[in-house]
Structure formats: C-alpha cells, structure tokens
Structure 1
Amino acid sequence: MFSDLNVFKTAYAMATHAGQRQAVISRNMANADTPGYQARDIEAFDSVYSGGPRTKMIASRNGHLNGVERGDWAEFTPENPTDPNGNSVSIEEEMLKAVDVKRQHDRALAIYRSSLTILRASLGKV
C-alpha cells in the first residue's frame, strides 16, 4: 500500500535534480577565469520531470493569469557576452542560479518532510 507513493519519488527526483544542477553551476563558477570556457546549464526540473501530459492554463478573461497581456511587456533577451579570453561565465548569473537551486532543494525537502508527517499521522504515530 505504501510502497509506491509518487510524492516521495517526486521529492527525491527534485532533490537529485537540484544537486546535479548545483554541480554544473559550481563547475561554471570554478572555471570563471578559464580561457574559452563556455557556461553550461541543465534544463529546469519541471521540463525534465513531467508526471503526465502537460496542459496549459486557460485564461477566462484578459489579464486573468498574469495581470497583463503578453504584448504589453517588452521582450528582454539578455546578451551572452564573452570576456576577451572567450569565457562566457557570469558570476552574477551563476550566483542567482545557485540561489534558485537551493530553494528548489529546500522545497523538495519540505515536500518530503510534510509527506512523511502526513503518512505518520495516518498511521497514528505522530
């Protein structure tokens, strides 16, 4: 009955993905001064691990989901400048990615902890 709980598998997959992405980010930061090194990244967790068919949210009226229409925002595409030595690592971007990955890992642990608490409560062992 309790041997195949998807919530634990998802939390484990999220924590594992965060660890792998953190390794890539730390490798980028370690090579920030290496000539010719190109920054790497892996896909976000939600695009890698999909538990089923992906569906998009449907807006019931204008401005319902995001407050404004997509055309109201100016598109921003950051340039990927390289240093004179050909290195494309931006320490600032890598720091922001590292914070995002830490939050993802903390979220995975919180999901696991909450699910375990619920499971214990359902068994009467709080």
Structure 2
Amino acid sequence: MQARYKLLIHVDEDSRERLNMALSMAYNLLDVVGEGNAEVVLVFNVRGPMALMRGSLDDYARERVNELMSMGVRFYVCSIALRSLGVRREDLIDGVEVVDSGIKKIVELEGQGFAYVKP
C-alpha cells in the first residue's frame, strides 16, 4: 500500500530549535494520520548535519529521533555538506543515511510527490 501522505522536512541550520520543530512536525503527522498512512523523510544539508552529530542531541531530541526512526522515518544527510563542514560519517548518530547531494535528494523526493516543509 502506498502512503497517503508524503512529507519532506528540510533542515539546513545547526539549530536545536529548528531540529526540535522538524522532529515535532514529523511526529505530529504520524500521530494524526497513523504510521501506515504517511511516509516521512528529513533531509539535512548546509549546516543541518551538525545537529545530528554524536553528542549534539539533547535528551528530547535523542528520544524523538530514535522514536521516529523506529516508526520508519528516514534521515538523509548531504555528503557535500559533511565535506564542507569537516564532519565524518562516523561522527553522525546511528541510523542516518548519507546521500551524495541533499538538494538532489530534495528534488527527487518532490518529484515523487513529497510535500516540502521547512521549519
């Protein structure tokens, strides 16, 4: 069965407030429509990957990220941003997927019918 709702959340800042807003948006949609009715992805580029570095998440964000991952939410991180920030893959939390280009991933997802939201 194809998801009825497709949500793409774009995070391009290293901001705890923006990250928490993005995580809340993802959780709230899944809570309202049900896990089986939505496909949710978050794409992190520019400075956004800094928010997903090991040790950077507060307790709320860490719990919410783990919960969202267990619900099938995917977290994509731009490899170009990682290079420009000097961040290695192993510096990121477990469970994120590194993609060749964050903007390319956004364009692909929008082409697949994902609604774009930027907190």
The alignment's TM-score, normalised by the length of structure 1, stands at: 0.25
Structure with bigger gyration radius? 1
Looking at secondary structure, tell me which structure has more strand per residue.
2
